[in-house]
């Protein structure tokens, strides 16, 4: 798999120093069938070391509604609830310069992708990859998919409306309908 390497720990952006944002480890179990991929964790997620930690992000509210758990549960309980439904969570990027939390702020030249060839090999039960927004889908298609073995390239993929508070043009109810349909797990 071809990845871009990151420059040293920080780089100048104008006159300020922009630190490299390092992603979070995957939330996954050996029997997961669905993988939800974002782009790179935002500032609040990195600060708390929790996926989708920004209080206005709809991710946990949508997952709770679809999967049947209270979205106000402590983070470890929400993670266990997803894993009980065979849902994994990760990001396309392992690291990159990101001043702020918007996807548009990610410096794609500094971005390094996660090792998907190994990850997908270790979870052979994955049958669906859901992208939490357009950038995650685009980065996966451009930087990950070409380097995957043929068997891994065939995993069904679908872009969903981003759960980010920046994606306010799509009503939450519309997002819920799309996410519910995509998360339907075959018995």
Active-site residues: which are they?
Answer: 57
Q: Which long-range contacts (CB under 8 A, 24 or more apart) does 50-55 make?
A: 50/24, 50/75, 51/24, 51/27, 51/89, 52/163, 54/101, 54/164, 54/165
Q: Which long-range contacts (CB under 8 A, 24 or more apart) does 152-155 make?
A: 152/116, 152/117, 152/120, 152/121, 155/120, 155/126, 155/127, 155/128, 155/129
Residues 6+ positions from 140 with CB-CB distance below 8 Å: 37, 92, 129, 131, 157
Q: How far apart are CA 17 and CA 39, in angstroms?
A: 22
């Amino acid at each position: 798999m071809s990845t871009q390497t990151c420059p040293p720990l920080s780089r100048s952006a104008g006159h300020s120093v922009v630190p490299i944002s390092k992603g979070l480890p995957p939330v996954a179990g050996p029997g997961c069938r669905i993988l939800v991929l974002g782009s790179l964790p935002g500032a609040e997620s990195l600060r708390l070391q929790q996926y989708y930690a920004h209080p206005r992000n709809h991710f946990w509210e949508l997952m709770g509604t679809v999967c049947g758990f209270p979205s106000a549960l402590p983070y470890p309980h929400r993670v266990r609830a997803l894993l009980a439904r065979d849902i994994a969570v990760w990001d396309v990027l392992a690291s990159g310069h990101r001043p702020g939390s918007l996807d548009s702020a990610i410096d794609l030249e500094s971005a390094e992708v996660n090792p998907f060839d190994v990850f997908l090999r270790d979870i052979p039960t994955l049958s669906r990859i859901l992208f939490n927004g357009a950038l995650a889908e685009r980065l996966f298609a451009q930087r990950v998919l070409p380097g995957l073995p043929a068997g891994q390239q065939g995993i069904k993929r679908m872009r969903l409306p981003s759960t980010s508070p920046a994606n306010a043009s799509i009503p939450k109810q519309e997002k819920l309908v799309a996410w519910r349909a995509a998360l339907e797990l075959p018995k």
